[in-house]
């Protein structure tokens, strides 16, 4: 006897909110809380300067980049755990979003490509969390590149898809919010790389933190559509007659 499993999406026909709507905002809040815990611990351990202070390159403190805050123990332990969990749950949210749109889009390549891009971005998050900047700089920076670039691409594609699909006639309002957040993420990323290249590390770190918070806010907006949806994992048994031998 064999078991086969499939994931089934069923639209919500009631006006009550689905409990799945809680997943995106709870994910964003807990991830943000974990990252800020890493920051405050690193400041308390005198590893980085606070975000509101001036950084002097000849001092004993490092600039307050997220990766540097999570570079030294014990903050590094929390940082790795936060990034790994964030990558896993973030992938789950992207997969649920893919299932939600699978029967509603005429351009499925956008839906599949969006999921693929974010999946690789989530893998980049695990690289950021598990390869510390000062020990494995190349691998860490590669993970940062995957996370920021593909994560930003995911935001823009999802903003466009939201407008085109227009679920429950809420697409225009939700898309306007997502386009605004996508633009903010892109602007922060451009400023981050530009300021870092100029050696303005505290300002670059501020842009990096803002970028991540805007990105988490973007993921939290999936509660808008998830509140209308139910996701179920269904396990069925194959018919026993298929395994009976043929008669002579």
Considering the domain boundaries, does residue 147 fall inside one? yes
CA distance 202 to 193: 12
Note the helical H segments in 131-200: 137-145, 151-165, 171-197
CA distance 200 to 55: 9
Query: What residues make up the domain containing 87?
Result: 23-223
Considering the domain boundaries, does residue 244 fall inside one? no
For residues 90 and 27, is the Cβ–Cβ distance under 8 A? yes
* Number of domains present in the structure of the chain: 1
Considering the domain boundaries, does residue 16 fall inside one? no
Q: What is the pLDDT of residues 154-188, one digit of tens each?
A: 999 999 999 999 888 888 999 999 999 999 999 99
- What pLDDT shows up at residue 2? 42
Output the pTM of the full model.
0.86
Position with higher pLDDT, 59 vs 98: 98
- What pLDDT shows up at residue 8? 42
Query: Half-sphere exposure of residue 90, counting CA atoms within 13 Å on the CB side?
Result: 32
Which residues fall within 8 angstroms of residue 127, CB to CB, at 6 or more apart? 139, 140, 142, 143, 146
CA distance 235 to 224: 28
Confidence of residue 247 (pLDDT cuts 50, 70, 90): very low
Considering the domain boundaries, does residue 218 fall inside one? yes
């Amino acid at each position: 006897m064999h078991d086969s499993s499939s994931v089934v999406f069923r639209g919500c026909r009631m006006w009550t909110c689905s409990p799945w709507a809680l997943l995106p905002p709870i994910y964003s809040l807990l991830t943000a809380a974990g990252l800020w815990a890493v920051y405050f611990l690193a400041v308390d351990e005198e590893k980085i300067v606070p975000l509101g202070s001036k950084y002097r390159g000849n001092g004993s403190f490092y600039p307050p980049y997220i990766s540097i805050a999570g570079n030294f123990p014990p903050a590094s332990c929390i940082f790795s755990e936060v990034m790994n969990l964030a990558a896993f749950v973030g992938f789950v949210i992207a997969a649920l979003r893919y299932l939600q749109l699978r029967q509603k889009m005429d351009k499925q390549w956008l839906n599949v490509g969006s999921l693929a891009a974010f999946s690789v971005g989530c893998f980049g998050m695990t690289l950021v969390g598990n390869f510390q900047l000062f020990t494995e700089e190349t691998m860490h920076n590669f993970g940062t590149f995957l996370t920021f670039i593909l994560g930003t691409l995911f935001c823009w594609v999802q903003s466009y898809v939201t407008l085109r699909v227009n679920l429950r006639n809420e697409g225009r309002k939700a898309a306007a919010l997502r386009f605004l957040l996508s633009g903010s993420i892109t602007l922060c990323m451009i400023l981050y790389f530009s300021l870092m290249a100029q050696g303005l590390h505290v300002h670059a770190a501020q842009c990096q933190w803002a970028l991540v918070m805007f990105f988490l806010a973007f993921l939290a907006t999936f509660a808008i559509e998830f509140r209308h949806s139910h996701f179920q994992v269904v396990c069925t048994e194959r018919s026993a007659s298929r395994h009976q031998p043929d008669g002579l």
